[in-house]
Amino acid sequence: MSILEIAPLVRGAYLAARSVPVILSPSDEAELELNVESVDQLAGAFPVELPDTVAVTVAGERHGFRAHTVGEVSPLPHGKDAEASAAAPRSRVVAGKVALVTGGAQGFGAEIVRGLVASGAFVYIADLNADGAAKLADELGPHTAALTVNVADEDSVSAMAEQIAATTGGLDLVVSNAGIVRAGSVLEQDADAFRLTTDINYVAFFLVTKHLGGLMATQRRTAPAWTTDIVQINSKSGLVGSNKNGAY
């Protein structure tokens, strides 16, 4: 069984039981053992209260997890009561939650990463610029993780989703920020530059939403009241075009 099928279900069970964001780390210890034959059975097998460590065996394959929080977090309203959280300080809304920012190694993305970390979130810095992502993660400390990803390549995005499931169990926030510009008029721009711009700025959002949204949807099976978000960063050029930036 794939970690993508199992870890988000386990994280969702903790979210439902504790009403605070948790991170799941691999663990050899287990205060609770659950043994089922299928993922569908696992989704309904969690008790109301969960200890800090749990192991699940699905069709003979065992996975152990430890649940912990990032800093001090308190319950926030979710589901039908989520509107109440809008009155809370902005930092409290993301405190302890697991976020990911594509194109997060530099520029606007790096500032989004810094803001989320300052507000108490655990943040994945996802970028094709592996060295830049690692450098920023070193700067900001243990509540970050660098991920190397080509957001325009489905296999790369799929692998990123699996790595997230294995590292934190799931996600609460995705910021799809990666974008590039290849300037040029439609009359003069070559097709490769047009395709590259479209793949990074448009197709990538589809791939990120497909695979990371799938991770969130699996998590929701055991935490139906827990709200998550996918945010796409866009330019005014999405509404008003430019004769020198046809692809963009």
Per-residue pLDDT of the chain (248 residues; tens, 9 = 90+): 799 999 999 999 999 999 999 999 999 999 999 999 999 999 999 999 999 999 999 999 999 999 999 977 766 655 555 555 555 566 678 999 999 999 999 999 999 999 999 999 999 999 999 999 999 999 999 999 999 999 999 999 999 999 999 999 999 999 999 998 888 888 888 999 999 999 999 999 999 999 999 999 999 999 999 999 999 998 887 788 777 887 88
pLDDT of residue 245: 81
DSSP H/E element including 231: strand 229-232
Distance, in Å, from the CA atom of 153 to the CA atom of 10, rounded to the nearest integer, reads 28
Look up tokens 């796409």; give the residue.
232
8 A C-beta contact, residue 55 and residue 65: yes
pLDDT of residue 188: 87
Residues classed as catalytic: 248
pLDDT of residue 243: 79
Distance, in Å, from the CA atom of 92 to the CA atom of 198, rounded to the nearest integer, reads 36
CB atoms within 10 A of CB 61: 11
